[in-house]
Amino acid sequence: MAFKETQKLLPTTVEANMQYGFSVDIDGSYAIVGNPYQDAADRGEIYFYKRNDNGLWEEISINTTVINNTAMGYSTAIHKNLAVVGGIGYSNCKGRIFLFNSDDGWSSTFAASEPGLADDSQFGFSVDIYNRWVVAGSNISDNNKGSIRIFKVIENPVPAVPQVLYGFSEVTDSPFTIFNPQEGDFFGSSVAIYEDWIAVGATGSQNTGAVYIYQKDENDEWSIFEILLPSDGVNNDQFGYSVSLFGNNLAVGARSKTSALGDQFAGTVYLFTYSGGSWQEVNKFEPINDDNETNYFGTSVDMDDNYIAIGSPGADGSIGQIDLLYKYRNWERKILSYSGGTANDKFGNSVGVSQNFAIGGMPNNDEIATDAGAALIFEDPETRIRLAQEFNVDKSYLPTKASLYLKRVGKTDFEYWNIYNDR
């Protein structure tokens, strides 16, 4: 891996305490950055970026107006031509989510609230999107029990009526314990969706924290499938603080776990794989430094087919860092850090990874104003990407002379070949 810092993103609005970079995400040539406390009224705003032919990420001008105290941009997710953004402060912190469509220049096409939620539910605390499915968490609704909502984006696009999953409805075909949330479970602290799976973090559930897996059937109905716990969990680990799904893999952050060396709040990330009809824990990752820091490793996590990106905003005196692990080299690790970092930047509070790009938010960076925030883009000029056997490769997003790798593991799968981008 040769990931290098290539660009620093800054907001065009300049105010103290905005926390630009509190949330980030990236998908292909598009990136999104949340700025939830923009202006004194905490309206919040978001920034979209697109990578141009020269390799620079250019801001896309959008026109979105929200009311005071919305905190739009607290959470963000982007997939293909759609993005979803959470605004936890809307209407006395009931919360709201916003849907954006690149076909309309990333203008907001729909905003969804949940009228059944009480004040201080924080709907939109966590969000994710895959194709035309959106999931959003309300981690402190109903006296900190928590809940999630699922939307399917239909024409124009407009979400259909949401299906509410509190987890306590009877699931007669499930061999697993019916989930009845308790006060303090914080169900919906994190969410992830990929194809037919949804993962929901509940950081207070069963004392250690838990992750609840939902599966979609052929009728587009979601039901609980499995409840995941860490193999070595103890009270207050906050297992499920972050989750990310890709393929048959699930990464789960437990940011408050004490390390094997006794470092409190060091954090751990667990890797699960779906195999044999269930999700199995197959690996776990800890911070590699042993200097008794409060790393909060696993505060954020994102993954694609090649990489797992793990944020540690407390590392190195809260300068923060991102650990990038490469799947095809036995989880070889590279540390991504900000060359100009200072204490309390909290780099890694949010992370995203896609293809040969990674993004990290540092909401407390002071370069333009106190706690105004920033985000960093990293790129691997020696890209290695798993591609289809037919070599039907779009090289437009790759740097000149980048190499591609394919791997054959069967007649219909993949093969490793060096393919050099000759454009």
Residues 420 and 329 in one domain: no
Q: Are 243 and 301 in contact (CB under 8 A)?
A: yes
pTM, to two decimals: 0.86
Q: Are both 376 and 394 inside the same structural domain?
A: no
Query: C-alpha 302: how far from its chain's center?
Result: 5
CATH number at residue 24: 2.130.10.130
* pLDDT: which is higher, 135 or 289: 135
Its domain, for residue 389, covers: 383-423
pLDDT at 292: 54
Per-residue pLDDT, 244: 98
| Cα separation, 193 vs 390, whole angstroms | 28
Question: Average per-residue pLDDT in the chain?
Answer: 84
371 plus 398 within the same structural domain: no
3-state class (DSSP) for residue 329: helix
Rg (CA), the chain: 20
Q: Estimate to the nearest angstrom the gap between the alpha carbon of 74 and the chain centroid.
A: 12
The pLDDT tens digits of the residues spanning 240-272 come to 999 999 999 999 999 999 887 777 899 999 999
Query: What per-residue confidence (pLDDT) applies to 318?
Result: 92
Identify whether residues 16 and 42 lie together within a single domain. Answer: yes
Residues 274 and 415 in one domain: no
Q: Provide the percentage of residues in the chain whose pLDDT is more than 70.
A: 82
Are 104 and 219 within one domain? yes
Question: Can you tell me whether residue 301 is helix, strand or coil?
Answer: strand
pLDDT for the residue 178 = 39
User: How far lies 199's CA from each of 55, 85, 153, 196, in Å?
Assistant: 34, 18, 19, 10
Q: What is the mean pLDDT of residues 176-198?
A: 83
Asked if 375 and 397 sit in the same domain, the reply is no
Tokens representing 150 are 């699922």
Whether residue 419 sits in one domain with residue 300: no
pLDDT number for residue 107: 73
In this structure, the answer to whether residues 342 and 422 fall within a common structural domain is no
Do 389 and 241 share a domain, yes or no? no
Has residue 389 got a pLDDT over 70?
A: no
Predicted confidence (pLDDT) per residue in 192-241, tens digit: 999 999 999 999 999 999 999 999 999 888 888 999 999 999 999 999 99
